[in-house]
Amino acid sequence: MVDPSHVQPPKKPQTPEPQPKPVTPAKQPQKPYNVPSSNQNTLGAMFSFMGKDEAKSIQQVFRLASITIMAQMNQQTKRMKEINEEEKA
């Protein structure tokens, strides 16, 4: 037995910055779930096919959506600048 008064408490390991994981496509379930036809075109139906990687898949959906929105905003900004240039000329 070690005398506890001589044991130094373990130092906290320095945690490195979390690295973003590469985006992997969601795995398709082996058997498709039975989705009621009234629910087929809703977000609920989309999420019901995600299986156990649901959190990753939802995160991926929102990441793609935000990237798409940012791209559209950038295009709109460029277009507005072009319109302003044309009006000045």
8-63 pLDDT, tens digit per residue, is 655 665 666 666 666 666 665 555 555 555 545 566 666 666 565 666 777 888 88
What global pTM score does this model have? 0.36
- Give the burial string for 17-33 (b: 16+ CB within 10 Å, else e): eeeeeeeeebeeeeeee
Name the more confident of 80 and 56.
80
Write down the pLDDT at residue 57: 77
d(CA 71, CA 60): 16
Write down the pLDDT at residue 50: 59
Contact 60, 23 (CB under 8 A): yes
| String of DSSP letters for 5-17 | GGPPPPPPPPPPP
